[in-house]
Structure 1
Amino acid sequence: MSDNRHSIGSLLGAAAARAVPVVRGVDERQLGGATPCSGYDVGELLNHFFDVVVNFTELAHKRPSAFAEKPDYLGTGDWRERFADEADRLVAAWSAPGAEEGTTGHADQPARVVGRMVLLDLTVHAWDLARATGQEFTPDPDAVDELAGVIADMAPAARDAGMFDEPVRPGPDDTRFEKLLAATGRDPHWA
């Protein structure tokens, strides 16, 4: 483990434990509904969420990702349980010895930075889906602490890459998590 008291694997484990029930709670009739994640309806966001989990598992193993491919993860079988299985694989991969060490990805970024990216996606997209489908969601406090400490560093590059929209001004009474959502370009009070 590097500079923080929590490993990426343990943070992802807690985040996945909160994200998987949200995915399981999505009703097929909600797949065309709007989400707070601009450019995605519920079905498209679920497909993207799957893609993130699958590809960041590869990055934990220091293998190339396949983000350019856009498979339809919802097209066959029980996608809810497949998502749960893929989330377990993600957590196991980032919990393996050496996963946070060295570099990974096409840009050879520090592995812990890449791990934080998937932690952000796992936390924020679970919130997106929960909001879009009328479910309750409370993020893992340790994940919020980890992400609140790095979101300012991550946001400019994420905006340049088109992954974040322009930041939303948070309200004076917003929580740390709501401020984090606002930094990603989301309205933390979206309904």
Structure 2
Amino acid sequence: METKIALRAKRRAIAQTTMAALFAALIAAGAFISIPLPFSPVPVTLQNLFALLSGLILGPLLGGAATALFLLAGALGVPVFSGAVGGFAHFFGPTGGFLLGYLFAALSAGFIAGRPRGNRRVPLLRIILAVLAGFLVVYVPGVIRLKVVLDTDWGTALAAGFIPFIIGDTLKGIAAVLIAPRLRRVAVEQMDG
């Protein structure tokens, strides 16, 4: 017969696995809200928001695992990348750096916000810093990869892969700051309950 501690640990592991899978699915679902831009190979999606939220809400390890699961599914050909496509070749295309940046976003936002535990609240300033860092680490590898693939100068790469997204990502960042604290509490309840 299993002890209460063993049962609680098993329930927690199941809840954590479920939450990671849920966020991987949310990141994938973000691909279906994809707005192509005529001047850029990078579309507007919600995937960066969901990758960021995975780290903010689940912490660096589970958030990173959720994002890695999403990337693995896409690499294996599941159509989870923007435009409902998949395949390993997309990591070498113009948006490949952004895909890698999603993992960096989940990890960095998770490390800054910390792993959710009990009733501990994360200060708002820390959430804001986590959001800013999360978006920044999406753009660094994204713009670098875009510059290399397009064989262009930095100004053109920034004009195609960063500048058009500032307003939208500011709005996504505000949404993340507003919803992350509440969703962290819900995640803790589900994983510790």
User: Of Structure 1 and Structure 2, which has the larger fraction of its residues in helix?
Assistant: 2
Q: Which is greater in Rg?
A: 2
Report the TM-score, using the length of structure 1 for normalisation: 0.27
Which structure exhibits the higher relative contact order, with contacts defined as CA atoms closer than 8 Å and separated by 6 or more residues?
Answer: 1
